[in-house]
A and B are shown apart, each in its own frame.
Chain A
Amino acid sequence: MGSPHGHTLHFHGHSPVHRTPAHLKLLALIGFVLVVVATPKDWFAAYAALLAVVAVVIAVSKVPPAYLLKRMVVELPFVVFAALLPFVAQGPRTEVLGLSVSEHGLLAAWALLAKGTLGVLASLTLAATTEPQELLAGLERLHLPNLLVQIMGFMVRYLEVVTSEMHRMKIARESRGFTARNPRHWPVLARSAGALFIRSYERGERVHLAMLSRGYTGRMPRQ
């Protein structure tokens, strides 16, 4: 069953950041990310300034920094990759803490880490201060094709239904003594994934039926 507390990324509040129309926030985020990506690797002061911008927005939004930091784990795979770069990259070597590392690699790792962190932090701030529904309305105001907005809307609506179904299947498996521990167990997981796909597909058909029953003709009505 869905949690009654709203989306896991959203932090309820009434700050000016929360109240800003979603399409403006989306444009600001896209602009910010473009600037971050375009900033040369060795302009260290510029990165500090960009971080300060995000920090000010977070402070104004009154979203607790710890709330955002916890959700930054999505960045972890990139961090691992960044940590490997100084060791595998070519070019002049330098000594750091007694280890021989590539200078290029070190700079590349820094840039990846800095750009990634700023981007993820800014995106999380948007997600924390904007309800999924507002976000969809914002995308519509930005003239994203209606069909794409519809598909995203259905995704938002059914994400929880499908994940809770997945969770129930996991509990059912475990209740019968199955816990996936090693690759030999993967075929079972694959069959579960297949079953979940079929169920979701059938649900899609039933939803379509329910839509037809209320006069759907292939276009979302203007409301």
Chain B
Amino acid sequence: MTPVLDIRGLAFAYPDGHQALYGVDLHVHRGERVALLGPNGAGKTTLVLHLNGILTAGAGSVAVSGLPVTKQHIPEIRRRVGIVFQDPDDQLFMGTVRQDVGFGPANLGLTGAALDERVQRALDQVGMADYADRPPHHLSFGQRRRVAVATVLAMEPEILVLDEPSSNLDPASRRELADILRSLDVTVLMVTHDLPYALELCPRAVVLSDGSVVADGATYDVLTDDALMTAHRLELPFGFDPRTVGSPPGVG
């Protein structure tokens, strides 16, 4: 079966000469939820920007469901890969929630009833349908994050890429977002420093450090490998021990 995400030997250096990625290999299969872990500056954001062709590979290749990420495929690639950025204020730029969620599908050429239906479904998936006509800047931070997820779901992506989905959320919003993500029938790649969140949501974890993949396995195994964790500046929050939490039901 063709993986949803197929990254082979991906290397990239910024124009100023800073090499951010050194030959990354990563495969993600349909229906998987994968956490992408790593310290600050490991190259996680650089990797994410390659997934939809914002950055183009210096060497190696990226393919989404068999379609290589190259210039002529960009529109289709951007439909297939939905990126939810860290700051919802960057992602929500239209006047109302409805317009914002409609922006992506409208770019895909949807109009009229088909567009309305897409928007409605995406808002229902994140439980924000009642706020469709509100301006995004009048919503709470947690609500804005959920709308940001809806803007991408409306494009019916094959893989949902989330950059720090739990950052700045209060515990209730954080749990609500987890419930939403679990309820979605979509492949997820989640970049995060929130290790308990990764354990809760993602059966598999990949550790990126200094531009290459240094671990790829069950999230529980990664988080309990003390030598690996220390070597790559990964630390569990105080009082959190995966061994006593165990794997959540239905995972691992």
Whether a CB of chain B sits under 8 angstroms from the CB of A77 is no
Whether a CB of chain A sits under 8 angstroms from the CB of B94 is yes
Whether a CB of chain B sits under 8 angstroms from the CB of A222 is yes
Whether a CB of chain B sits under 8 angstroms from the CB of A210 is yes
Q: Determine whether the beta carbon of A161 is less than 8 Å from that of B95.
A: no
Whether a CB of chain A sits under 8 angstroms from the CB of B181 is no
A214-B155 contact given A136-B95, A157-B94, CB 8 Å threshold = yes
Q: How far is the CA of A4 from the CA of B136 in the complex (A)?
A: 10
A210-B85 contact given A157-B135, A160-B137, CB 8 Å threshold = yes
Rounded to whole Å, the gap between the CB of A147 and the closest CB of chain B is: 15
Whether a CB of chain A sits under 8 angstroms from the CB of B71 is no
Q: How far is the CA of A212 from the CA of B77 in the complex (A)?
A: 11
Q: Determine whether the beta carbon of B89 is less than 8 Å from that of A217.
A: no
Which of the 9-residue segments B28-36, B57-65, B99-107, B232-240 touches chain A? B99-107
Please encode chain A, from 185 to 211, with 1 for each CB lying within 8 Å of some chain B CB and 0 for all others.
000000000000000000100110111
User: A216's contact among B107, B115, B136, by CB below 8 Å, is which?
Assistant: B107
Whether a CB of chain A sits under 8 angstroms from the CB of B93 is yes
Q: How far is the CA of A113 from the CA of B52 in the complex (A)?
A: 58
Whether a CB of chain A sits under 8 angstroms from the CB of B152 is yes
Whether a CB of chain A sits under 8 angstroms from the CB of B184 is no
A-side interface residues, number (CB < 8 Å):
30
A215-B136 contact given A157-B93, A161-B89, A209-B54, CB 8 Å threshold = no
Q: Determine whether the beta carbon of A209 is less than 8 Å from that of B106.
A: no
Q: Determine whether the beta carbon of B85 is less than 8 Å from that of A211.
A: no
Q: How far is the CA of A3 from the CA of B140 in the complex (A)?
A: 10
Q: How far is the CA of A209 from the CA of B51 in the complex (A)?
A: 13
Secondary structure type dominating chain B contacts: helix
Q: Determine whether the beta carbon of B90 is less than 8 Å from that of A214.
A: no
Secondary structure type dominating chain A contacts: helix
User: A209's contact among B85, B95, B107, B152, by CB below 8 Å, is which?
Assistant: B85
A203-B89 contact given A136-B95, A213-B83, CB 8 Å threshold = yes
Whether a CB of chain B sits under 8 angstroms from the CB of A223 is yes
Q: Determine whether the beta carbon of A223 is less than 8 Å from that of B106.
A: yes
Q: Determine whether the beta carbon of B103 is less than 8 Å from that of A214.
A: yes
Of A6, A157, A211, most buried by chain B (CB within 10 Å of CB) is: A157
User: A215's contact among B94, B108, B111, B138, by CB below 8 Å, is which?
Assistant: B108
Rounded to whole Å, the gap between the CB of B123 and the closest CB of chain A is: 15
Q: How far is the CA of A6 from the CA of B96 in the complex (A)?
A: 12
Whether a CB of chain B sits under 8 angstroms from the CB of A2 is yes
Of B49, B81, B82, B83, most buried by chain A (CB within 10 Å of CB) is: B83
Whether a CB of chain B sits under 8 angstroms from the CB of A72 is no
A206-B87 contact given A153-B95, A214-B155, CB 8 Å threshold = yes
Q: How far is the CA of A209 from the CA of B102 in the complex (A)?
A: 17
Q: How far is the CA of A212 from the CA of B49 in the complex (A)?
A: 11
Q: Contacts of B82 on A, CB cut-off 8 Å? A: 213
Q: Determine whether the beta carbon of B54 is less than 8 Å from that of A2.
A: no
User: A214's contact among B99, B104, B115, by CB below 8 Å, is which?
Assistant: B104
Please encode chain A, from 1 to 26, with 1 for each CB lying within 8 Å of some chain B CB and 0 for all others.
11110100000000000000000000
Whether a CB of chain A sits under 8 angstroms from the CB of B145 is no
Closest to B79 in A: A215
Whether a CB of chain B sits under 8 angstroms from the CB of A132 is yes
A222-B111 contact given A161-B137, A214-B151, A214-B152, CB 8 Å threshold = yes
Q: Contacts of A133 on B, CB cut-off 8 Å? A: 95-96, 135
Q: Contacts of A4 on B, CB cut-off 8 Å? A: 138
Q: How far is the CA of A2 from the CA of B75 in the complex (A)?
A: 34
Q: Contacts of A215 on B, CB cut-off 8 Å? A: 75, 78-79, 104, 107-108, 155
User: Would you list 9 pairs from A and B whose C-beta atoms are within 8 A, ordered by A residue?
Assistant: A1-B141, A2-B137, A2-B138, A157-B135, A210-B83, A213-B78, A214-B78, A215-B104, A223-B99
Please list the residues of chain B having a beta carbon within 8 angstroms of any beta carbon in chain A. Answer: 49, 52, 54, 75, 78-79, 81-83, 85, 87, 89-91, 93-96, 99, 102-104, 106-108, 111, 115, 135-138, 141, 151-152, 155
Task: Name 16 extra pairs, CB < 8 A, besides A157-B93, A216-B107.
Answer: A1-B141, A6-B138, A136-B95, A160-B137, A207-B90, A209-B85, A210-B83, A210-B91, A213-B54, A214-B104, A215-B79, A215-B104, A215-B155, A216-B103, A221-B102, A223-B99
